[in-house]
Amino acid sequence: MPVETRSIRDRSAVGRFPSVTLGFGEDTEEEKEEPEPEYNAEKDNACRWWLRKVCPCCCPKSNDDDITDTVVTAIDDLDKGEETNGEKPVTGDGELDGNRHFRELHSHVFAFIFAELLLKVQSIDLMKSKSGQNRTEHHTNLYQSDDFVIRRGQTFQMWITLSRPFNPDTDKLHLELKTGPLPTVAKGTHVIIPLVEDLEDDRWEAAVVKQDDKRIKLSVNSLPTAAIGRYQLIVETNCASGKAVSTHNPANDIYMLFNPWCEDDTVFMDSDDERQEYVLNSVGRIYYGTQNQIGVRTWNYGQFHDGILAACLYVLEKSGTPPSGWGDPVNVVRVISAMINSPDDLGVVEGNWSGDYSLGTSPTFWSGSVEILNEYYKNSGTPVKYGQCWIFAGVVTTVLRCLGIPSRTVTNFSSAHDTDVSLTTDVYLDENLDPIAYLNTDSIWNFHVWNDSWMARPDLPPGNGGWQAVDATPQETSQGTFRCGPASLAAVRNGHVYLKHDSPFVFAEVNSDKIYWQRNVDGTFTQIYSEKKTVGHFISTKAVGSDERNDITHLYKHPEGSEEERIAVETACRYGTKAQTFSSPTAEDVSVEVTMEGEGPKMGGDAELSLILRNSSSEQRKVFLHSQVAVMYYTGVHKATVRKDRTDVDLLPNEGDTLELPYKDYKDQLIDQAALMMTLTGRVKETQQVLATQFSFRLRTPDLILKPIGKPVVGEKMAVEISFTNPLPQVLKAVIFHVEGLGLLTAQKINYGDIGSRATVSLTEHFVPTLPGPRKLLASLDCRQLTQVHGVTNITVEDKSNWSARTDRRGDKKSFYRIPSEPSRREEPSAAEWVQALRG
């Protein structure tokens, strides 16, 4: 028969628990008194009657038609203690063991009381609103996600709602954070945060700063050396009634980042302007070209874009390195340097310098990191095709800024690639002064792009902290892996190449001497010439707070030719494989120089260079001159020779000569950066002086012209007109436009088709801005015949509510958009509203 739910409050005292309410029901004033159960000796024994009187749910009244008695036990575990050989004791003739059921009732009542007294966590509020105190103070409010993102070494606030008011005299509480596959207290990946009265710096602690009935507000402090990453949060409570542990909720995971605002963090940066630029700026400038023709393009780093933080942490996780090492920026930067390229660890970007990009995307087509990182993350770690040095560097900047390490993208013009750790750039010539291709493995790239990251270097002697060079382009291996850095710029500048990591390679990139060797008849080689000022020019990065170019060459090397610079070169070379190789003094009464007027030749036009030979002696000189013009990859790798000349020059004092290169000679060989190189070698007959120099130049490409159309307002449709003129006397085939802008529109590919010779075209792309403030809209063009064509326009987007209020005051609109003081809350309809809706 059904069991009635009854209250035993205000009943007469029975047994040891005279007035306990078990909470099975509440008495009301309308409730009628039911008669007390009467004792029937024929049907009941005394114990059963008493149990039914005190706890009808545990011992309901039996139906006369039932064949056997039914016992309702509140706590199953008590039966186990009475079992014998796996069987429960059996009562004879339906009789119950009174003592046993008294213990059951005793446990039932106390379990209920203890459950009420146990301190349990009901909810956790991390106060993770982007506009809230935590994310604003931690400078993480720009991350476009609802995750709780904070920086280490800084306090954050949180609310905990408990099952009853917290009593600090009798209750205990602590937080636990866990990260990585095997969290360990000793390794800092399992953190136990105790509750204390007053917080102290440089330790994990929490303190109650406010209590509101069952809610307590905690201020939590983290270590400035804590490992970065995603932490799982749980709360454990202890009181006299026992221990309770909250259930892990992924929505309460904590994302911990490096903190350039914290003086105790090794990535601390003192200047607020520099923090704004190197941590918070999501758009940058990347330089390319040659030292005489510096080009620039805008790059969307997008480190705060939704999903990028998760992608960056995925890159760290995929490296397989232990999370216990993720508190050291030196280690993290080294891991990222390896993981952005793909040769040995299936990293983010696959490099390609072949000129054939049919299986992926041309490197010149990318204009930001967001697409690349999202594609890598979405495809579970499949390398993205394709990239070259500026792509690797752009993605590294995104990842490091996202993780909280100040970073910038750096371009070095005339950048050497030393393949044998000689710390010199060697050029081998045969008996006729022609280059020996198979020996010339060293090269000088027209430009090379890498990164600087900012951190202290406690692992190096004092004075070597600050900017560190990091290079993710896979050139040479470091400890068996394609990576480079971090190398201290101070160490590189002074030639201290014995300091880690990879300082010799970086030094050779920016300050190696170029040594020319000639093969002798017996097969040996003799040093015949050296150039001391060929490598490392106009090292460039975006200026702080503006789009201007900032020359930082002085951070990498002393002024060329100075005593300090020569000492640094000699110091470095002592640790190279050709320690005894230094320039031999030679007569220098004849010099050679190559110059170019203005900004240089345009794509589609003839290239005119001026070759100036000067004789500073008082006598006539006869020079045997060899000249060669070749199309080059920007890395300095030879593609094709387009012109060779040999001539004898009778040189009078200060005499010069001019060389012209027609477009038809090079048009079919150009690739990627439209780069060419002139190599000059020669010998003066009278003095046996050797002349040698190389001159790199590129053909300038036109820009895309972007013209915004319409009022830029959040949520309002507008457009951009993109214009382009084909500079070539040939048709551009299968042209693709690429448009994107953070807060304006996601990356779009537009398959335009063919563009005729010298033709001007335009297209319009519509979009709806999503974020207010100053924005940049980027566009690029790509086709087989022409690359490195791009453009940018600045757009200042207004907030819709503010714009609506202004237009209303001007009378341009009839309606006025009300700006709520706080986010509106959708309330449930009342009963009357439901009835009205049903009637309607």
Residues annotated as catalytic are 389, 448, 471
| Cα–Cα distance for residue pair 173/638, rounded to 1 Å | 68
Which of 337, 299, 286 lies closest to 474, judged by CA? Answer: 337
Q: Determine the Cα–Cα distance for residues 374 and 497; give it in Å rounded to an integer.
A: 37
Cα–Cα distance measured from residue 382 to residue 395, given in angstroms and rounded to the nearest whole number: 15
- What's the CA gap between 537 and 416, in Å, rounded? 11
Distance CA 224, CA 149 (A): 15
| d(C-alpha 254, C-alpha 273), whole Å | 28
Q: Is 593 annotated as a binding residue?
A: no
Q: Is 665 annotated to bind ligand?
A: no
Residue 249 exposure: Cα atoms within 13 Å on the Cβ side = 13
What is the Cβ-side half-sphere exposure of residue 463, based on CA atoms within 13 angstroms?
8
Is the link from the previous residue into 537 a cis peptide, with omega within 30 of 0?
Answer: no
Query: What Å distances lie between residue 461 and 289, 458, 484, 619, CA to CA?
Result: 36, 7, 20, 55
Tally of CB atoms within 10 A around 637:
11
Q: How far is 172 from 195, CA to CA, in rounded Å?
A: 8
Instruction: Tell me how far the alpha carbon of residue 773 is from its chain's centroid.
Output: 23
Q: Which token pair is 475? A: 């050139």
Residue 311 tokens read as: 């992608």
CA distances from 573 to 504, 518, 576, 786 (A): 9, 21, 5, 41
- Residue 409 to residues 271, 304, 310, 395, 549, Cα–Cα distance (Å): 18, 17, 22, 10, 12
CB atoms within 10 A of CB 394: 29
Contact by Cβ (8 Å): 258, 238: no
What residues contact 219, with CB distance under 8 A and at least 6 apart? 155, 156, 157, 199, 206, 207, 209
In one-letter notation, the amino acid at residue 709 is: I
Cα 124 from Cα 654, distance rounded (Å): 82
What six digits make up the tokens of 290?
A: 């040659």
570 is in an annotated binding site: no
Give the H/E segment covering residue 11. Answer: none
Strands 283-289 and 294-300: antiparallel
What distance in Å separates the CA atoms of residue 421 and residue 423, rounded to the nearest whole number? 5
| Closest residue by Cα to residue 440 from 455, 453, 430, 450 | 430
**Alpha-carbon torsion (177, 183, 189, 194), positive or negative:** positive
Question: Residue 726 has which token pair?
Answer: 């084909």
Residues 6+ apart with CB under 8 A from 544: 273, 274, 276, 277, 278, 550
Is 565 annotated to bind a ligand? Reply is: yes
- List binding-site positions: 511, 513, 560, 565
- List binding-site positions for Ca(2+): 511, 513, 560, 565
